Amino acid sequence: MNRALAVYIALSALTLVVFALWPELDLAAAHYFYRHGSFFGGDSFSRFGREFFRVTPFVALSAYAALWLAKRLGMKLRWAPSGRAMIFLILTMVIGPGLIVNLGLKDHWGRPRPYQTEGLSGQDPFRPWYETDGACKRNCSFVSGEAATGFWMVAPASVLPPPWRGPAIVAAFAFGAGASLLRLAFGGHYLSDVLLGGLITLIVIEAARRLLWPRGAAGLESPSGAGSRRSRPRGAAGRTPA
């Protein structure tokens, strides 16, 4: 297990324990964004912000697919993702935000969203993350799908070649944090929902990356789009030594 994967698993376990012992932390965070009888997000600018964070990951995936296809069709590009990178991106999107978060948890957990909760403009009793018998029937609060897709942006950033990779990963984490903050402000999710939604996706990303590139960063693409295989050393005369 690599260090990043171990850190994400440990943070997930810590989040589960902390919010199980002190579930009122979720309510405290929700009340921070609850002002004058409602949450933020009623104006057109806020709605645009939500759409931006919701749509951008799918735009990024489409853009990478277009670059891969253009390279396959013979276009000369400075960089394009490899076929293995495209498998990585699609796999992590489908398994993380898709199967685990949206199909596996959100539709079966029963936790009402903050705006549905009594004391926060709703009528349903509050449920901590570990209780699945809430009033919500489908597309519930636990965990956040938009936090999951927001932090999925780490996946396309991680297959970029140096020197773009590092800054892109930092920007991807900022993007995921922004998407999560907006869901809190809109009353769409509790703090534990967005933390665990993001961490689940990051765990899937790291596990898939270790599976597809067992040698780590050495197996990722170079700026030309080729793998990192090094040519064998040549002799002084330019011939490969025996």
Q: Is the pLDDT of residue 198 over 60?
A: yes
Distances (CA, A) of 24 to 27, 94, 158, 190, 203: 5, 32, 36, 11, 26
Candidate ranges 36-40, 105-109, 199-203; pick with highest mean pLDDT: 199-203
| pLDDT tens per residue, range 93-104 | 999 999 999 999
Q: Is the pLDDT of residue 225 over 60?
A: no
Q: Is the pLDDT of residue 241 over 60?
A: no
- How crowded is residue 8: how many other Cβ atoms within 10 Å of its Cβ? 20
| pLDDT tens per residue, range 112-138 | 999 999 999 899 999 999 999 999 999
Q: Is the pLDDT of residue 200 over 80?
A: yes
Question: What six digits make up the tokens of 114?
Answer: 């903050």
Q: Which residues pair with 38 in a beta bridge?
A: 35
Binned at pLDDT 50, 70 and 90, residue 237 comes out as: very low
Binned at pLDDT 50, 70 and 90, residue 186 comes out as: very high
Q: How far apart are the first and last CA of the chain?
A: 39
Domain boundaries of the chain, sorted by first residue: 3-219
pLDDT given for residue 217 in this prediction: 56
- Which of 241, 151, 140, 135 has the alpha carbon at shortest distance from 200? 151
pLDDT given for residue 1 in this prediction: 63
- Which of 122, 124, 149 has the alpha carbon at shortest distance from 39? 122
| pLDDT tens per residue, range 56-76 | 999 999 999 999 999 999 999
Binned at pLDDT 50, 70 and 90, residue 45 comes out as: confident
- Which of 61, 52, 57 has the alpha carbon at shortest distance from 182? 52
Amino acid at 181: L
The 3-state DSSP class for residue 142 equals coil
DSSP character at residue 161: P
Instruction: Please state, in angstroms and rounded to a whole number, the distance separating the CA atoms of residues 115 and 30.
Output: 9
